[in-house]
Structure 1
Amino acid sequence: MTSSAVTQNTTSQATPMAPAIVRPSVRQHSIKVEICTPAIGAELSNISLADAAQDPDAIAEIRALWLKHKVLFFRDQNITPMEQQNFAAQFAGLEAHPLAPSHPEADKLLMLYRNLDPGKPQGFVEKASRENVWHTDVTYKKAPPRGAVLRCELGPDTGGDTIWSNMVMAYEKLPDTIKQRIDGLYAKHSAEHAFGAQFPIAERHAMAAKNPAVEHPVVLTHPETGEKVLFVNSIFTTHFSNFYNFEDIRYGQDFMPEAQHLLNYLTSQAAIPEYQVRLKWRTNTVAMWDNLLVQHYAVADYGNAPRKMLRATLTGTPLA
């Protein structure tokens, strides 16, 4: 593959220019790419994300690999929250989570902190995990996030892995009869039942009014790659918007079970191991994924051990 760069650019003798603000650690070596599984994922090494944020060639190379492999892993990235935020900002605008607080040092980083000590600094989040289910982030918005850059600040000694599933492959491997059945289907996505179920009724209704349900195509065409993606998930997708089957309905009660069975079948595709890659986190490991191409699952098998993750969320555009 082509390196982001191998040697420093030379300055023109005729027209002196200010030196590029690029540290030698970016330029010394080619980015090395190791494929994780046949279906999804690649680990990149010989690259500093803090330095890459200042090198457009490195960013372009990483972006191409991101679109190709759908999720990228980077080990040993000893970077600050602001350096993580700056790296993520090279790929899209950044957005804070609509329902959760941001890091005090980097206002676009979501804190996913679990099982912290009672003396934790102000602003840290402590709550039970809700990510141990297959999902695409924030699909209850008209413009779901484009992607994410997640860094492990502190992980448990064992457990706490994250799994990603290739939803392009999930669509490609569907039987043709199912592909025909879902062609042109739309589905509703909502946050109310996921985040508001534990709220008093007035608060739940207020949250639903602020975040009304939205409609997305069941088969999404990716805006950059043109790939067809199965775009329903277990957390936020509630029902089909335009499902009908008058030919096979004897009575009205036949209608909803068929629709719900089909939706359950589609959301279950993310759990097929052949579509997946699994990451064992270490401190300063970074994962970067395309939120439109994959689903992910954070395995909550680490008991009371602390787990501190910081996520930068890339702003998306409305889906057609």
Structure 2
Amino acid sequence: MHVEQLTCALGAEISGISLAEAGTNDDLAGAVNELLLKHKVLFFRDQDITDAEHAAFARRFGELEDHPLAASATGEPGIIHIWKSPESPPERYENAWHNDATWREIPPMGAVLRCVECPPVGGDTMWANMELAYARLPDRVKEDIADLWARHSMEASFMAAKPVDERLAMKARFPDPEHPVVRTHPVTGNKSLFVNGFTTHFTNYHTASRVRVGQDFTQGSSNLLQYLTNQAAIPEYQVRWRWTPNSVALWDNRCTQHYAVMDYPPCVRRMNRATIIGDRPF
């Protein structure tokens, strides 16, 4: 196995390894997990694997979950299709900085994304290290957000363009959860910034220590949330990956965000993803 670190912030490309083998080999899967905790997102090329092998590798990190709006692979419900084509609806949901599915009470631990087919140019994905983003915040900001919690919404993102009855039915199924603004990693104990494109507002900002007049809440709260969500866009915290068929990314959703770049013309981009069930943020 060869490990090549890709940026100073996060990301490593791993070569000399078969993910199909890692799906059945405890030692190999353990080594990959250690690298994941260190680099936060791992990349592999030339992995000609089946959906079953894809799912078996992802299950080394936990059980898999489906997505309420994405089709699953036949025979492998843990593998969802993120497929784009010239006939796809014009809505874009991936080109915003986000942790996956923070609109769930228990967001995913991580994911394994495999490129089946991609544009010849364009369609890269970027990741940001949100532990580094938190660490480099000014101390005064860290003090202010230490006890803050925030709402995350599927209704305000994926479902916003849907008919009202569909939107309300999905909201009943996935009520907007509340998560800490600063999350502690359950394995490493590191703190990370945990607000993103699904975050709508702080739930406990309106306190006597923060709000003197109405503008302190209506503007101060929204300005702070915008400032925090914008941290993922700082290039020094990022890595960018150019896809090729049979390339794979594995990332830790607890401490990274990602952004699928929609810079390609109407063409086919087919990605298969296994999403790994996580734990309740604290």
TM-score by length of 1: 0.85
| Residue 173 of structure 2 corresponds to residue 203 of structure 1 | no
Matches within 5 A, 1:166-185: 166-185=129-148
Distance 1:244 1:156, change over 3 A: same
Match for residue 23 of structure 1? Answer: none
Q: Please report how far the alpha carbon of residue 254 of structure 1 lies from its aligned counterpart in structure 2 after TM superposition.
A: 3.1
Match for residue 287 of structure 1? Answer: 249
Highest relative contact order (Cα 8 Å, sep 6+), 1 or 2? 2
Of 181-190 and 101-110, deviating more is: 101-110
CA contact (8 A) 2:127 2:256 kept: yes
Distance 1:116 1:284, change over 3 A: farther
Separation of aligned partners in 2, 1:248 and 1:217: 18
Unaligned runs of 5+ in 1: 1-30, 118-125
Separation of aligned partners in 2, 1:251 and 1:268: 26
Question: 1:137 aligned to 100, 109, 112, which one?
Answer: 100
Q: Please report how far the alpha carbon of residue 249 of structure 1 lies from its aligned counterpart in structure 2 after TM superposition.
A: 4.4
- Structure with higher Rg: it is 1
Separation of aligned partners in 1, 2:187 and 2:135: 18
Matches within 5 A, 1:48-87: 48-87=18-57
Identity, % of aligned pairs? 51
CA contact (8 A) 1:245 1:255 kept: no
1:22-71 Cα offsets, whole Å, 9 max, x none, are: xxxxxxxxx11000001100000000000111110000000000011000
Of 190-199 and 264-273, deviating more is: 190-199
Q: How many residues align?
A: 281
Question: 2:204 aligned to 242, 253, 277, which one?
Answer: 242
Separation of aligned partners in 1, 2:97 and 2:152: 14
1:264-285 Cα offsets, whole Å, 9 max, x none, are: 0000000000000000000000
Match for residue 275 of structure 1? Answer: 237
Question: 1:214 aligned to 165, 170, 177, which one?
Answer: 177
CA contact (8 A) 1:113 1:127 kept: no
Match for residue 111 of structure 1? Answer: 81
Question: 2:5 aligned to 26, 35, 38, which one?
Answer: 35
Match for residue 305 of structure 1? Answer: 267
CA contact (8 A) 2:23 2:57 kept: yes
Separation of aligned partners in 1, 2:42 and 2:107: 20
Separation of aligned partners in 2, 1:80 and 1:240: 42
Q: Please report how far the alpha carbon of residue 204 of structure 1 lies from its aligned counterpart in structure 2 after TM superposition.
A: 1.5
Q: Please report how far the alpha carbon of residue 99 of structure 1 lies from its aligned counterpart in structure 2 after TM superposition.
A: 2.7
Q: Please report how far the alpha carbon of residue 248 of structure 1 lies from its aligned counterpart in structure 2 after TM superposition.
A: 6.2
Q: Please report how far the alpha carbon of residue 203 of structure 1 lies from its aligned counterpart in structure 2 after TM superposition.
A: 2.0
Q: Please report how far the alpha carbon of residue 253 of structure 1 lies from its aligned counterpart in structure 2 after TM superposition.
A: 3.3
Separation of aligned partners in 1, 2:210 and 2:25: 59
* Secondary structure of residue in 1 paired with 2:65: coil
Separation of aligned partners in 2, 1:143 and 1:248: 29
Question: 1:88 aligned to 44, 58, 64, which one?
Answer: 58
1:138-185 Cα offsets, whole Å, 9 max, x none, are: 001111000000000011000000000000000000000000000111
TM-score by length of 2: 0.96
Q: Please report how far the alpha carbon of residue 260 of structure 1 lies from its aligned counterpart in structure 2 after TM superposition.
A: 0.4
Q: Please report how far the alpha carbon of residue 318 of structure 1 lies from its aligned counterpart in structure 2 after TM superposition.
A: 1.7
Q: Please report how far the alpha carbon of residue 107 of structure 1 lies from its aligned counterpart in structure 2 after TM superposition.
A: 1.4
Distance 1:305 1:244, change over 3 A: same
Separation of aligned partners in 1, 2:178 and 2:209: 25
| Residue 133 of structure 2 corresponds to residue 163 of structure 1 | no
Separation of aligned partners in 1, 2:63 and 2:209: 47
* Secondary structure of residue in 1 paired with 2:115: strand
| Residue 165 of structure 2 corresponds to residue 194 of structure 1 | no
Separation of aligned partners in 1, 2:44 and 2:210: 51
1:200-232 Cα offsets, whole Å, 9 max, x none, are: 222211111111011000000000110001000
